[in-house]
């Protein structure tokens, strides 16, 4: 008998999930929730996840799939904009926080009880579509074959092109603890723009965990990162001068960089490889919020697999209009057509927060879109939209439609 090639000898799964972070773990969970427990699934990451490396915050109506993991939730938010401070009553939404470590621990326990899911640890070097299957390669020379692969590893970063905008959302957050009562646990600060803007868009979140403890996060939207010491210096200044707290200890620190770009992240790597998570374009370009968009996408993928045996999810054509809205906001910020602080102040001052959330969730009616559009600097946004549209049409005429949905 002829020897089999390494690829023929490779272990075969129904689904391979490359990258077991927010998207990979959520997809594994949803696949089993949708009853696909008879499929053999491989979850691959470079190492088990245990560190509290990020905190996910998002707004939501009702209960989500990971409701039991929500560490804190708020029904009232404070917004400090340009010359205006207001309390936002956001019901029926709630602003929620899930700590990374809680999510990873829950998933590790859950995975232990799923006989159809295998976890393996290795550095993934490639995820490719070969004939009618997906092949995942790891640095230790192994290969895994699957009917489908779902990739959340940033193997293809969008290449810089003049047609698109490339901002970053970068932030340093501290969980601080004070000996005296310092926070109202019922109200979180969504955005406090009362910090020096330095030509960028800069604000602070304050998410109280109890009367003595809060996550305070200094956030910047700009093209370049700041020197690391500046985030710390800005946080210290905010805590001292705005929160008027001098006696505190820092219990935890998180630093993050999220892409804010309208450059397309490919949603596939060939027929059999579907990108998910940030790698699959789940980050909202204009805000950086990703967690809920990941949940929506992996739910749709699991639903499609269950219903049709194929994971393709088509974006409804009308929803594509939000891509233009995102590009317009990025263009306004990038070209300095209007200050970011002013844009967010206009949005929250002239719209109920529920409408703003629906808009950012891409669930508004055309009438609500008009209300949102007419609440911001109209000439600046019209110029930005025209600019973005012109570049988008030019880019479209150059880009082949690689993988049409079917």
Ligand X SMILES: Cc1cc2nc3c(=O)[nH]c(=O)nc-3n(C[C@H](O)[C@H](O)[C@H](O)COP(=O)(O)OP(=O)(O)OC[C@H]3O[C@@H](n4cnc5c(N)ncnc54)[C@H](O)[C@@H]3O)c2cc1C
DSSP state of 202: E
Q: What is the dihedral of CA 121, 123, 125, 126, to 10 degrees?
A: 20
Closer to ligand X by Cβ: residue 28 or 384: 28
Give the number of residues written for the chain.
Answer: 406
Please state, in angstroms and rounded to a whole number, the distance separating the CA atoms of residues 88 and 78.
6
If one asks whether residue 254 binds ligand X (CB under 6 A), the answer comes out as yes
If one asks whether residue 289 binds ligand X (CB under 6 A), the answer comes out as yes
One residue of 81, 208, 277, 353 binding ligand X per CB under 6 A: 277
One residue of 278, 345, 364, 385 binding ligand X per CB under 6 A: 278
Residue 137 C-beta: closest distance to ligand X, Å: 10
φ/ψ of 192, rounded to 5, equals -120, 105
Closer to ligand X by Cβ: residue 31 or 384: 31
* Helix or strand holding residue 213 (H, E): strand 213-222
Residue 389 C-beta: closest distance to ligand X, Å: 27
One residue of 290, 295, 331, 385 binding ligand X per CB under 6 A: 290
Residue 28: which residues within 8 A CB-CB, separation 6 or more? 17, 20, 41, 43, 107, 111, 114, 117
Closer to ligand X by Cβ: residue 81 or 259: 259
If one asks whether residue 281 binds ligand X (CB under 6 A), the answer comes out as no
Q: Sheet containing 213-222: give its strands across.
A: 84-89, 76-81, 187-192, 201-210, 213-222, 166-177, 249-261
- Work out whether strand 55-61 and strand 117-121 pair parallel, antiparallel, or are unpaired: unpaired
- Work out whether strand 143-151 and strand 11-18 pair parallel, antiparallel, or are unpaired: parallel
Site for ligand X in 37-56 (CB under 6 A): 45-46, 49, 54-56
Q: Which stretch binds ligand X (CB under 6 A): 66-74, 140-148, 219-227, 288-296?
A: 288-296
Q: Which stretch binds ligand X (CB under 6 A): 18-26, 140-148, 301-309, 389-397?
A: 18-26
Closer to ligand X by Cβ: residue 231 or 381: 231
Residue 224: which residues within 8 A CB-CB, separation 6 or more? 168
Closer to ligand X by Cβ: residue 291 or 325: 291
One residue of 135, 153, 243, 298 binding ligand X per CB under 6 A: 153
If one asks whether residue 20 binds ligand X (CB under 6 A), the answer comes out as yes
Q: Which among 79, 72, 78 has a CA at the least distance from the CA of 94?
A: 72
Number of chain residues interacting with ligand X (CB under 6 A)? 28
Residue 158 C-beta: closest distance to ligand X, Å: 14
Give the interface with ligand X as residue ranges (CB under 6 A): 19-24, 45-46, 49, 54-58, 123-124, 152-153, 254, 256, 258, 277-279, 289-291, 294
């Amino acid at each position: 008998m002829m020897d089999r090639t390494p690829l023929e000898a490779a272990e075969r799964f129904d689904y391979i999930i490359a990258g077991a972070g927010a998207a990979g773990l959520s997809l594994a969970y949803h696949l089993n929730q949708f009853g696909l427990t008879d499929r053999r699934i491989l979850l691959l990451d470079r190492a088990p996840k245990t560190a509290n490396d990020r905190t996910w915050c998002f707004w939501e109506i009702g209960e989500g799939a990971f409701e039991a993991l929500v560490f804190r939730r708020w029904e009232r938010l404070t917004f400090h904009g340009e010359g205006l401070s207001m309390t936002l009553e956001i019901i029926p939404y709630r602003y929620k926080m899930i700590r990374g470590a809680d999510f990873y621990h829950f998933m590790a326990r859950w995975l232990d009880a799923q006989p159809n899911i295998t976890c393996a640890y290795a550095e993934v070097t490639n995820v490719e579509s070969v004939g009618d299957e997906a092949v995942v390669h790891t640095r230790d020379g192994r290969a895994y074959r699957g009917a489908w692969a779902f990739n959340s590893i940033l193997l293809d970063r969008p290449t810089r092109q003049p047609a698109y905008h490339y901002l970053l959302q970068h932030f340093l957050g501290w969980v601080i603890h004070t000996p005296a009562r310092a926070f109202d646990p019922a109200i979180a600060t969504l955005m406090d723009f009362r910090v020096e803007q330095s030509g960028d868009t800069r604000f602070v979140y304050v998410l109280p965990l109890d009367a003595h403890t809060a996550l305070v996060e200094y956030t910047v939207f700009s093209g370049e990162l700041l020197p690391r010491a500046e985030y710390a210096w800005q946080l210290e200044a905010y805590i001292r001068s705005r929160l008027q707290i001098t006696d505190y200890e820092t219990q935890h620190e998180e630093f993050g960089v999220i892409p804010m770009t309208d450059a397309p992240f490919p949603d596939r790597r060939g027929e059999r490889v579907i990108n998910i998570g940030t790698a699959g374009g789940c980050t909202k370009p204009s805000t950086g919020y990703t967690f809920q968009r990941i949940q929506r996408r992996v739910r749709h993928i699991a639903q499609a697999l269950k219903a049709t045996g194929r994971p393709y999810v088509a974006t409804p054509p009308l929803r594509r209009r939000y891509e233009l809205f995102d590009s317009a906001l990025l263009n306004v910020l990038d070209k300095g057509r209007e200050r970011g602080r002013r844009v967010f102040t206009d949005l929250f001052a002239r719209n109920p927060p529920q409408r703003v959330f629906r808009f950012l969730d891409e669930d508004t009616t055309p009438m609500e879109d008009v209300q949102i559009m007419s609440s911001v600097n109209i000439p600046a946004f019209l110029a930005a939209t025209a600019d973005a549209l012109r570049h988008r049409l030019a880019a479209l005429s150059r880009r082949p439609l690689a993988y049409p949905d079917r």
